[in-house]
Structure 1
Amino acid sequence: MRTMTEPQSRALQREKRKPLAAAWLTATKHKYLYVLLLPGLLWYFIFRYLPMYGVMIAFKDYNFSKGIWGSPWVGLKHFEFLLHNQDFYAIVRNTLVINLYELIFAFPVPVILALLLNEMKNLLFKRAVQTVVYFPHFLSWVVFGGIIIQLLSPNEGLINNILRSLGMEPVFFMSKSEYFRPIVVISSILKESGWGAIIYLAALSSIDTEQYEAATIDGANRWQKLVYVTLPGIRNTILIMLILKVGYLLDVGFEQIYILYNPSVYDVGDVLSTYIYRIGLQSAQFSITAAIGLFQSVIGFFLIWGTNRLAKKYSEVSLW
């Protein structure tokens, strides 16, 4: 076997150090950008990665006085409890149905709104509209939900006052199961569609204007420009946002549901986040809520993975 000479060994070591030297040179060159990145990385580490340590209580019979390590292991006991609990299936169904409604009816609204804003030529009017549709995003669900409840109030609500003026009986919207899910979806659209449109407006601004000029020369009207230039230009952004949205099919915002629902609509409005609140904080069954959280995370991962595979197979866009 041929042995390596000392000069050859030093040359090999230098070759191995080259990528490290290049990485260090890049980090030194852009050191201020890395400093700006550091708070975001710290936030993710502290609030996203460190809490993963507590996932183990899903496999333990957690006792607050004994702590995480002192609590006894119970294996899959809590997962078996969930799988044999009929209430859990109803809650998962409610979560999926509400999210599917939002995926079907709420997801396209920011896209449509961005397209409409992009077509506005009067900049002053466009900015005024943008301000109006962005503003609800900055209100908390406590405030915005209170406005929705007040609008739908059977005694003083604007909607029921209009119904009375038309000779109709007032409707108790917030206490009827058939109205709760539409109210959740519509309130989500009113609050978040304007803010969501920002992403698509940014994508629209990156479309080359020469494509519109070429389409005009070819005799395309505004609708044809929309179909053949604008929508293909933001298709990748729409697909990425759709993949991310599918990953949250088992996650409905706690604040919105908690503010809007009441015991009379639990059969259609009780979702995983509110169930976790009642079981975990009010009943102090932390192990069961940890099991639910782990269940959500695993299912969410597979949803994103599957959607990403489909997107990668049928288009050139994917998360990885």
Structure 2
Amino acid sequence: MAILTARRPLSTDRRPRPQRRISVQARLQRDSPLLVMALPVVILLLVFTYIPLIGNLVAFLDYIPYLPLEESPWVGLDNFAALLSDPGFWSAFVNTVQITALQMIFSFPVPILLAILLHSLISPFIRGFVQSVIYLPHFLSWVIVVAMFEQVLGGDGAVADAVRSLGGEQVNLMTNPDTFKLLLVSQGVWKDAGWGTIIFLAALTNIDLSLYESAAVDGAGSARRFWHITLPGIRPIIVLLMILQLGTSLSVGFEQILLQRDAVGADAAEVLDTYVYFRGVVDGDWSIGVAAGLLKGVVGLILILAANKLAHLLGEQGVYSRD
């Protein structure tokens, strides 16, 4: 005798069930270990980043050192007017823009090319060895880096000795104002290319290898595989890092340039960061120095917003989402 069992009809309601909201106290209790871990970083940001932002008020004051801010006369935009009429500021601004352009043209593509080259190596040992060698200069201070370049390109360096031994004239590339900007870029490439290579190597490892195998089966050459698989795979990282570099593009290396400024002169080596230092700290004109720093920050913010908008137009997420 067959036993018939009644089956409940399948529900056709596919609407998502509303999730129960968790109270703030419950979320704090749940995430308390993470909040405790993040607390030192938050304190450091508050003490050394956000609280010092109050000092930007000095740009609008005739600041008198060692007195409270409220006792300094309010001058409004007079400091910015004096700043924009200073030829030294515009000389520093032009040098900064030129160095930034050279860094974007020469420094930015080098880690991408190195990462692609290392990623194509079959031997993991050789890949790891080369990666460690090119990453090692990142841990050296600029004092050591400049000293090493002095030993090679200076007046008594290896290049000068080789030129003299061949009967040539005295060569000192470290004190040549005409090649100083290219020298800065080459120093930056040698020191920091390995760091960027690691980031792009991590992006390359996330690309599915089956895509390359399928493309090779379909007859695609190495150039087409690079253009249609490799480049789209790392394009989001390229766009993100380019936006971040544009945001800090006006900070072209204070310590690096300060160590070599006296050797080539202020006309070739003065940038916005050194201008702020010498005008504000050394000369004691704090209001003009803070105004220059604030103006540099505003320009950097505009560059980030413009680059992020361009990334959205190209279909990338950028630093923050459009939503």
Deviation of 1:154 after TM superposition, in Å, equals 1.4
Residues 19-46 of structure 1: CA distance to partner in whole angstroms, max 9, x if unpaired? 8735544443333223222222222222
Deviation at 1:284? 1.7
Contact 1:142 1:259 in 2 (8 A): yes
Further displaced range: 102-111 or 165-174: 165-174
- Cα distance in 1 between the residues matched to 2:251 and 2:114: 25
Residues 273 and 293, structure 2, Cα contact 8 Å, conserved in 1: no
Read off the aligned partner of 2:262 and give its amino acid letter. N
2:184 aligns with 184
Matched with 2:255 is: 255
Asked if structure 2 preserves the Cα contact closer than 8 Å seen for 1:280 and 1:286, the reply is yes
Q: Which residue identity is paired with 1:316?
A: E
TM-score (norm 2): 0.88
Counting helix residues as a fraction of each chain, which structure ranks higher? 1
Q: Aligned partners of 2:152 and 2:267: how far apart in 1?
A: 23
Q: Does 1:280 align with 2:280?
A: yes
The answer to whether structure 1 residue 231 and structure 2 residue 248 are counterparts is no
Instruction: Indicate the SS of the match to 1:171.
Output: coil
Distance 1:106 1:286, change over 3 A: same
2:101 aligns with 100
Q: Aligned residue for 2:296? A: 296
Residue in 2 that maps onto 1:137 = 138
Q: Determine the structure 2 residue equivalent to 1:116.
A: 117
Amino acid at match of 2:86: N
* Aligned-pair CA distance for 1:163: 2.1
Q: In the alignment, what sits opposite 2:66?
A: 65
Distance 1:202 1:313 in 2: 26
The one-letter amino acid of 2:154's match is S
- What is the identity, as a one-letter code, of the residue corresponding to 2:63? Y
Q: Secondary structure at the match of 1:315?
A: coil
Q: What is aligned with 2:15?
A: none
Normalized against structure 1, the TM-score is what?
0.89
- Give me the whole-angstrom Cα distance separating, in 1, the residues matched to 2:231 and 2:152: 36
Where does residue 38 of structure 2 map in the other structure? 37
* Compared CA separation, residues 304 and 61, structure 1 to 2 (3 A): same
Q: Letter of the aligned partner of 2:279 in structure 1?
A: I
* Counterpart-to-counterpart distance in 2, 1:183 and 1:63: 39
- Give 5+ residue unaligned stretches, structure 2: 1-18
- Secondary structure in 2 matching 1:62: coil
- When structure 1 is superposed on structure 2, of 292-301 and 246-255 the one drifting more is 246-255
Deviation of the 1:293 alpha carbon: 0.9
Measure how far apart 1:196 and its partner are: 1.3
Residue 80 of structure 1 corresponds to 81
After superposition, the Cα gap between the structure-2 partners of 1:159 and 1:241, relative to the gap in structure 1 and judged at 3 Å, is same
Whole-angstrom CA distance in 1 between matches of 2:180 and 2:223 = 36
2:53 is the alignment partner of 1:55: no
Displacement of 1:129 in angstroms is: 0.8
Unpaired runs of at least 5, structure 1: 1-17
User: Offset of 1:296 from its aligned partner?
Assistant: 0.6
**Structure 1 stretch displaced more, 302-311 or 209-218:** 209-218
Q: RMSD over aligned Cα, in angstroms?
A: 1.8
- Sequence identity percentage: 37
